[in-house]
Amino acid sequence: MRVRWSPEAREALEEIRLGLQEISDTLAEQWVRRIYERAESLSRLPWRGHVVSHGGTDEVRQVWEGPYRIVYMVLDETVAVVTVLHGSRLLHL
């Protein structure tokens, strides 16, 4: 399967990078790389994530990388990354 990032997900990842850069450039790069790699690994096992119960459908799933939620949908032969957010933030779909 192919992993595609929505514009919102790319923007969210960039916001995470910018926020962490205030602490450390190295830390920011490490976390962004880890999040990206976790999302890309969904191409091999897309159904492993947990269903997001308040998503209204079984198609919305999530995996975690540390404190960050990677929210995605499996659509035909594509894993569509919807957004990435810190676990302390509420998900609005």
As a whole number of angstroms, the distance between CA 60 and CA 66 comes to 20
pLDDT at 89 (0 to 100): 67
The count of domains in the chain is 1
Residues 11-46: tens digit of each pLDDT? 999 999 999 999 999 999 999 999 999 999 999 999
As a whole number of angstroms, the distance between CA 91 and CA 83 comes to 9
Instruction: State whether residue 84 is helix, strand or coil.
Output: strand
91 domain-assigned:
no
57 domain-assigned:
yes
20 domain-assigned:
yes
Give the range of the structural domain holding residue 77, as residue numbers without chain letter. 2-86
What proportion of the chain, given as a percentage, has pLDDT over 90? 80
pTM above 0.85, yes or no: yes
| CATH (domain of 73) | 3.30.2310.20
As a whole number of angstroms, the distance between CA 70 and CA 40 comes to 11
92 domain-assigned:
no
18 domain-assigned:
yes
50 domain-assigned:
yes
